[in-house]
Amino acid sequence: MSSQLVWRCWMHEQGGRIVNVSSVGALVPEPNIRWYNGTKPAILPLTRQLAQELAPGVTVNCVAPGIIKTDMSRALWEKNEDALAATVPVKRLGLPDDISSAIAFLASDQAAYVTGQTLTIDGGITLGDGLVSGELA
């Protein structure tokens, strides 16, 4: 595991930040990608466990992206991007910059007091049927 290697080689003396990447598939089921999503929930407690074990010198956090417009997820969005975006409360799919900005924050000194957390970056998909239309009930 790379976290263990970097701990031994550097972080046990120098400290640092670890940012794991999971998926909203760890939080809600999605059709047709059960094998992919089946691996993602394990990252959440691993993040919390490492945050506890490596503190105080190392912070460990996680991001859980929704559908992000990347080559890897192209099969999920390419043929029906507009229809899929319409189901997202913010009415668009995620972009790589949405995730990289969050990772950069969690890896920075600005997040020095954040550890053991999972930041869901999904445009509101995990809200369920909440305020998808933007109207208050």
Q: Is 113 a catalytic residue?
A: no
- The pLDDT assigned to 1 comes to 66
pLDDT digits (tens, 9 = 90+) for 46-82: 999 999 999 999 999 999 999 999 999 898 889 999 9
CATH, residue 67: 3.40.50.720
pLDDT interval class at 2 (50, 70, 90): confident
The answer to the question of residue 24 being in a domain is yes
19 domain-assigned: yes
Residue 129: the pLDDT is: 58
Domain count, the chain: 1
Q: Has residue 109 been placed in a domain?
A: yes
- The single residue of 9, 12, 14, 36 carrying the catalytic annotation is 36
Over residues 19-43, the pLDDT tens digits come to 999 999 899 887 777 888 888 999 9
User: Does residue 128 form part of some domain?
Assistant: no
> Is residue 133, in this structure, part of any structural domain at all?
no
Q: How far apart are CA 32 and CA 83, in angstroms?
A: 17
> Is residue 136 situated within a structural domain?
no
pLDDT band at 134 (very low <50, low <70, confident <90, very high): very low
Q: Note if the pTM is more than 0.85.
A: yes
Give the tens place of pLDDT for each residue, 3-12. Answer: 888 888 888 8
Of 59, 18, 44, 29, which is closest to residue 120 (Cα–Cα)? 44
Residue 30: domain span: 2-123
